[in-house]
Amino acid sequence: METLLLVLFWHAFMAFILPLFLAETALTSSREVFSLLPGWAKRALTSGKAPFLAAVLVFAAGVFQSVGTPTPLDSLASGLLNSGFLILLVLAWRRVGGDGYSLRELLPGPRGFKAMLALLGLVYLALGLLLRPEELPGLGAQATVWAMYALFGLLLRRGIRLSKIVEELGSNYALDASPGRMVFLAALFTAGSVLGSLTGLGFAFAMDVWIVGIAFGLFVLGQTVRHLF
């Protein structure tokens, strides 16, 4: 269940596509991720209900986050400190003119990618050999992980070969990431986290998200394989 959740949904969408969309829209001059979203997602983001939906999702994210906080005080401190730190980074980035770059200009080139790959390999070695090596899974579990790497690597390789060069797409979509809006959403997130910690709703809500996420991830994987073959 953890594999289905993390591999097919959480890491793919919540830890990659969503942050990439938010970062490009709020911190750069390009809008490629938005331009490539499916039609239903574009309509939701550009409708008059978009600010309300964003507020609901941020509050729900706070409730979900409460699963990892032991006390309501921890939820309050975590929400305020993390949100405040991120808001300061966003304001500093804009102040130095970082939002004048496109996302493509900020991504690493071939040399930078190789350097990051080497550093990632060192991290794997350091964490695997030096930090609690006795916790490494057995050969059978590791073989399963490598088989998954091979499967998704082949799908990615085929997808890249079949895809065409995507020219930079223009879009006038603007995300409201003003200081006031960010503070308001940070307060909603923190309130949701405190509420989840006080009531215990966080775990029940997380279970629902996990079930829906697994189903969505399986559906997208099926559609991906169907599209590629």
Q: Express each pLDDT in 54-76 by its tens digit.
A: 999 999 999 999 998 899 999 99
In the chain, where are the structural domains located?
2-102+169-228, 105-136, 139-167
pLDDT at 139: 86
* Number of residues that make up the chain: 229
Q: Mean pLDDT for the chain?
A: 90
Q: What is the pLDDT confidence band of residue 170, given thresholds at 50, 70 and 90?
A: low
pLDDT at 21: 94
pLDDT at 99: 93
Cα distances (angstroms) measured from residue 163 to each of 13, 19, 20, 102, 158: 20, 23, 20, 22, 8
141 burial class (0-12, 13-18, 19+ CB within 10 angstroms)? exposed
